Structure 1
């Protein structure tokens, strides 16, 4: 089986329930084609680079999917006819990336119970000490 990254942008005026319904329908399509979703990231409402269908913002959803080529064709056919989807794109990847996406909010990137520890905390401490050293001058 191959791996795919699929991203789609939904209308920004959709409610959370409507976004969940669309995500459930996408999951059903993927499961119906014999694939599975390895990861889902909700990137939230973001500003678009240019207006799409007279809309300047959109709700971004990102999936990492394992499946065959017909799965992507079926999924993109459904995304194309859905009026709530502004844009979509699927790409084939050799292997899925591990770890959090750089577009996730800062709070979601830290594992629970590890706030202020690890590599990120060390970088924050180094930055704070550099600022303090600069202020002492």
Structure 2
């Protein structure tokens, strides 16, 4: 057994996020383990760039209210206790609403995290997501 009492809070890379986002690694796998996970905290208005995962991604919302959007314009509003599963290869983004913080545990399975980072979500795309009735 390994008891980890603290993980460092890291500032998320500016080239992959808009706004202030903070990460606490939970699991960086070594063979034979394949699950990578982190607690990710988004300040109001903060969000990921568009991205996809080779083997998909699961998000467990721990706090606040957020948004998860896909290229086809589908947006879901999420809050604590909810889970979103993004299938392998699906281009998506996630982040906080414009008025609330949002935190989630992000989980991916595979060799490395298999993330393909793409362009930022535009202000117009984000505004449309905020106004979405989904």
The TM-score, its normalising length taken from structure 1, stands at 0.30
Higher helix share: 1
The TM-score, its normalising length taken from structure 2, stands at 0.30
Higher-Rg structure is: 1
Higher strand share: 2
Tell me which of the two structures has the higher relative contact order, counting C-alpha pairs closer than 8 angstroms and 6 or more residues apart. 1
